[in-house]
Amino acid sequence: MQPNTLLDAILDEAGISHAGLAAHVNQAGRARGLGLRYEHTAVARWLKGQRPRGQVPDLICEVLAARLHRPVTLDDIGLGVPGEPAAPHGSGLSGFVERATALWRSDEQQRPHVLDAPAVTGTPAVMPVWEWENPPEDMDVSRGGRHRVTPADIETQRAARAHYEQMYRKAGGIATRSRVVGFLNAETAPLLRGGYTDATGRQLHRATGGLVAIAGICAYDSDAHGLAQRYFHQALRLAKASGDRGLGAYVIALLVNQSLFMKEYRQAVAFAEAALRTAGRQITPALASDLYAMQAKAYAHLGDATGALSCIGRAEAAAERIRRGSEPDETGYVQPGLVNVQVAEALLSLGDLEAAGEHAVAAVDTPAHDRGRVHRLAILSQIELRQGDADKATATAVEMAERARGMESMRLRDRLRAVREHLARSGCAGTARAAELIDGALRVPL
């Protein structure tokens, strides 16, 4: 059940409260001979994704149309009947833009039904990937809005994506998310509703897709998994509108990473295969190496050593073909050593400690941004403990904890807790200082 952000946005536009909507719906129902007794709690359920029964969706449209002095359809309030044709202005790319910007608005306003929504699984999780892979394509993405989008506008979107990506790496997703979402609402939404040719529109949708993906990464890093998934799905739709299959494959890599975290290992394998298959020659060596490495981790968790080792070989071969300067901005996260640490995790799951240790050491010995280095040190520390070298593991954990200071990230906190638990279970006397530093980092409020 997905939150109804369209209803949320139009209620906000109409300036009507949950209790107010319930009262007006009850009154409109009485005019039709219905004895309705809705309260604000019912509206809260509708906003969480529950569909009202009977004539109530039509009554909501009637109430809001009177309030806004314009026609309001079921599609406008997110209650269009599944399987029935949507109203022309609510369908296709234009309708997607309205739904997307409604989500951004709800996120910026910290709506609980959006922030707390769980990630979907099964068919709802797979369909956006299937729709990206398959026809129909967007034949014309032009739009006739008042504000004409210029190349400078698009360059601003690209610069914002790079800026917020760097902020995320240094400060974490919790600190960065509100800034990205604020920019989407203030700067990006008016552009998407503006006027542009097909060629300019494709560039705009590509730039927006990269920025929305950063919003998803920050939501994922904040433990808002349902929200992160919706941002990733939006970025995938924007990638399709742009015609850039490589961008779509990058977004799917983000979905693969989230699937691994959620322990949806078969889904992770399938998504990675979809990206590699559909992007074809548009996929870059950096992205291919990351997708194969994540597939290896998924296979390892499934106990498929053959599949994992095969993907490790493909990841390493792709990594050797990476040429800096020939990769798009989005794949800049695939820094030297990333494949090593991914492979180390896969080998650790397979129980090959010696090979895992070699890859983890190689990853740590390669320069990386602070966030990536914390992740690499965490893996190395765990491997060193498994190998019985508590002194090395403690020294590694100390460096990890020191570098993690000031980062507001739930994923890094997960790493810190995991290392802390491994240290505690080791029972070695020398681990006390590392444990103390980690405890200090975990006490910092987010």
Q: What digits encode the pLDDT tens for the residues 262-311?
A: 999 999 999 999 999 999 989 999 999 999 999 999 999 999 999 999 99
User: What is the percent of the chain with per-residue pLDDT over 90, rounded to a whole number?
Assistant: 68
Query: Model confidence over 147-203: pLDDT tens digits?
Result: 899 999 999 999 999 999 999 999 999 999 999 999 999 999 999 999 999 999 999
Q: Is residue 105 located within the same domain as residue 218?
A: yes
Q: Do 151 and 44 fall within a single domain?
A: no
Position 286 in a domain: no
With a cut of 50, say whether residue 88 has pLDDT above it. Answer: no
Residues 222, 114, single domain; the answer is: yes
Per-residue pLDDT tens over the stretch 111-137: 888 999 999 999 999 999 999 999 999
Residues 207, 154 share a domain: yes
pTM: 0.85
Check whether residue 69 and residue 147 sit in a common domain: no
Residue 324 in domain:
no
Note whether residue 306 is domain-resident: no
Looking at the domain assignment, is residue 353 inside a domain?
A: no
93 and 71 in one domain? no
Question: What is the domain count for the chain?
Answer: 3
- The domain that holds 67 is classified in CATH as 1.10.260
- Residues 393 and 417 reside in one and the same domain: yes
pLDDT in tens, 247-270: 999 999 999 999 999 999 999 999
Q: Is residue 198 part of a domain?
A: yes
Range of the domain at 404: 369-446
b/e burial code for range 348-383 (CB count within 10 A of at least 16 → b): bbbebbeebbbbbbbbbebebebbbbbbbbbbbbbb
Q: Which of 227, 242, 257 is the last residue of a domain?
A: 242
Same domain, 107 and 223: yes
